[in-house]
Structure 1
Amino acid sequence: MNFRQLEAFNAVMISGSTVRAAELMGVTQPAVSRLIAELEAAVRFPLFDRVRGRLIATPEGTLFFREVEVSFKGLDRLQATAASIRDYGAGTLKIASLAAAGAILAPAAIRAFRQQNPGVRITFHITWSSAIRNGITDGQYDLGLAADEIDRSGIDSQLFGSFPGLVAMPKSHPLTLHKSITPDLIAKWPLIGLSPEDRARQRFDEAMKKAGHEPKYVIETPNAATICALAQEGDAVGLVNPLVIGEAESRTVALRPFAPEVMFRVYLLFPADIQKSALVRGFTAELFRLRNRFEMPTA
């Protein structure tokens, strides 16, 4: 008994004749008849009765077909799995992002990616950049978006983008009269700042001190979206990553570029020494496609 014989038997059972079975298999009708005869010799019972030129399955043949049918359904599943692996990698994608990129950019990329790959299961976590780096190392994530303060040794990393920071403030704030905000202008106001270990915060502090000003922080938070929320009311202002700016934020706060530019650098992280799957490459392409909308400051 071999696969070709079983394939011929299955084709005859589902099509009803050796002629149609031959068409399904892409062979001649005599070849199908020969395969059926060989299979009957192998199982040592008749699979079909020949009645007026037609093949009618015997009771034994019908019982045997039930098992053959189960086997062919399993083969179909194997073929579908192989196609999924070929086209989409393992069929799952595990993504992690820092909060700034996880607010708008990553969800937009996930939405666009799923439109092309609806069968892929996605896990998405928003967490600290250091936790993302560790998760990449441990195999918890397939790719991550992290800020530049992390240690990138031992992983595969690529600069995703450098985004010029924006000063968020209430729409009624006096600083809105200026097209850009300099250290001299912002030094007069209390500040909402990112965490001290944030590299963009450190670059902002350096720019202020170089201009002769000591930043006056009254609130600190690790999340740029929180800075936008806090800046909606009151007199405090803060520098934010433009990745967090969506339609809702642009309606509730005023945004002005800071001069000199303070860049928020975001890196893509991947496990080291592992070839990127089709899934990872596809999702990375969506991220880069959407990146451009955030690269210029919002006035």
Structure 2
Amino acid sequence: MNLRQIEIFQAVFAAGTASKAAVLLNLSQPAVSKAVQDLERSIGFALFDRSTGRMVPTAEGELFHREVEQTFAGLSRLRSSAARIRDFGSGEIRLASLSALSTNIVPKAIAAFRQRHPQVAITFQTQMSSTIRDLVAAGQFDIGLTSDEVDATGVTVEPFAIYRAAIALPEGHPLCAKPVLSPPDLHGEAFVALAPEDRTRQKLETVLAAAGAVPRIVLETPYSTTVCAMVQAGIGCGLINPLNAEPFLGRGLTWRPFEPALYFCTLLLTPPGRRGSRIAEDARTLLMSFAGERPALPADLHHVPEG
């Protein structure tokens, strides 16, 4: 049994006679009849009843045709997959991001990507930056978005986005009366801190120490979004990327700019020594296009000095 015999069987089944199938396939009628006979011999049962002058499928032929149809459907899917690989290099994209970008930049980029490539499968995970680096370095993910303190060994790195840090405050907090906060304002305040290894937290600690300001750390978390949730709950104030504050604004949280200016810096990682597929490159371009969006200002903030 071979694929050509299956194709001829399919044509005869649809046409009803060997002569009509021969016309469709641009073959001679004897060649079609011989191919069907050879197929029947190889599978061990008759596919057609020839007593009426037509090629009427037997019960076994009907069952066999169902399997053939499934096989041809599979071949059609293979052709579609081959076309996607030819056009874009892959039929899937695997993306990982740190939490700070997973609820704002990344969803917008994925939505735009889906409009361009609705048939491409997308795998997305939110992970710690160190985990993302390992996944990209191992070739398990095509693109990773991480904080700038990540170890860049074994990956290709390029700058992604930079956002000026701010101080999140519970609505009604006394510091809300100030348009801009400085290190002395945080002295003694209940503070929800980012993880000690976070580079922006380290920069904040440096400027606080220089001013002799010591906040009262009540909770630590690696996620800026979690800082916002804790501030919203009234646990304290905290250093945040304003991008993460958007869902919380007007719902128990506001923010103020901080002087001197501090920044959250992020990186885009790709696997080393490997040319990315066309869809991976398109995803990278879309992510970059959304990276420059500025965070929305809180309604009660009238002036933000540029950093």
- TM-score in terms of structure 1 length: 0.76
Question: 1:139-169, CA deviations, whole angstroms, 9 ceiling, x for partnerless residues?
Answer: 3322211111111121012211011011100
Question: 1:2-38, CA deviations, whole angstroms, 9 ceiling, x for partnerless residues?
Answer: 978976775575467999989xxxxxx6x85545443
SS state at 1:208 partner: helix
Which residue identity does 1:132 align to in structure 2?
A: I
Which residue identity does 1:223 align to in structure 2?
A: Y
Question: 1:202-234, CA deviations, whole angstroms, 9 ceiling, x for partnerless residues?
Answer: 122223334x23332422222212222222355
In the alignment, which residue of structure 1 is the partner of 2:265? Answer: 265
In the alignment, which residue of structure 1 is the partner of 2:33? Answer: 40
Number of equivalent positions: 288
SS state at 1:160 partner: strand
Cα distance in 2 for residues equivalent to 1:159 and 1:239: 22
Which residue identity does 2:225 align to in structure 1?
A: A
In the alignment, which residue of structure 1 is the partner of 2:189? Answer: 189
SS state at 1:245 partner: helix
In the alignment, which residue of structure 1 is the partner of 2:45? Answer: none
Question: 1:211-266, CA deviations, whole angstroms, 9 ceiling, x for partnerless residues?
Answer: x2333242222221222222235583211012312233453211112122211011
1:287 equivalent to 2:280? Answer no
Cα distance in 2 for residues equivalent to 1:75 and 1:167: 58
Cα distance in 2 for residues equivalent to 1:165 and 1:20: 75
How large is the RMSD of aligned CA atoms in angstroms? 3.8
Moved more, 119-128 or 152-161: 119-128
Cα distance in 2 for residues equivalent to 1:234 and 1:73: 59
In the alignment, which residue of structure 2 is the partner of 1:202? Answer: 202
Question: 1:90-132, CA deviations, whole angstroms, 9 ceiling, x for partnerless residues?
Answer: 4333322212112333234334433444444333322211111
- TM-score in terms of structure 2 length: 0.75
Q: Equivalences for 1:151-230 in 2 at 5 Å? A: 151-187=151-187, 189-210=189-210, 212-219=211-218, 220-230=220-230
Q: Equivalences for 1:13-92 in 2 at 5 Å? A: 14=14, 32-42=25-35, 56-57=54-55, 63=61, 66=65, 69=69, 72-87=72-87, 89-92=89-92
- Residues 279 and 229 (structure 1), Cα distance of their counterparts in 2 relative to 1, 3 Å cut: same
In the alignment, which residue of structure 1 is the partner of 2:41? Answer: none
Cα distance in 2 for residues equivalent to 1:18 and 1:289: 59
- Residues 69 and 221 (structure 1), Cα distance of their counterparts in 2 relative to 1, 3 Å cut: closer
Which residue identity does 2:214 align to in structure 1?
A: P
- Residues 35 and 88 (structure 1), Cα distance of their counterparts in 2 relative to 1, 3 Å cut: farther
Cα distance in 2 for residues equivalent to 1:156 and 1:196: 26
Over the matched positions of the two proteins, sequence identity in percent amounts to: 34
In the alignment, which residue of structure 2 is the partner of 1:93? Answer: 93
C-alpha contact 1:169 1:231 (8 A) present in aligned 2:
yes
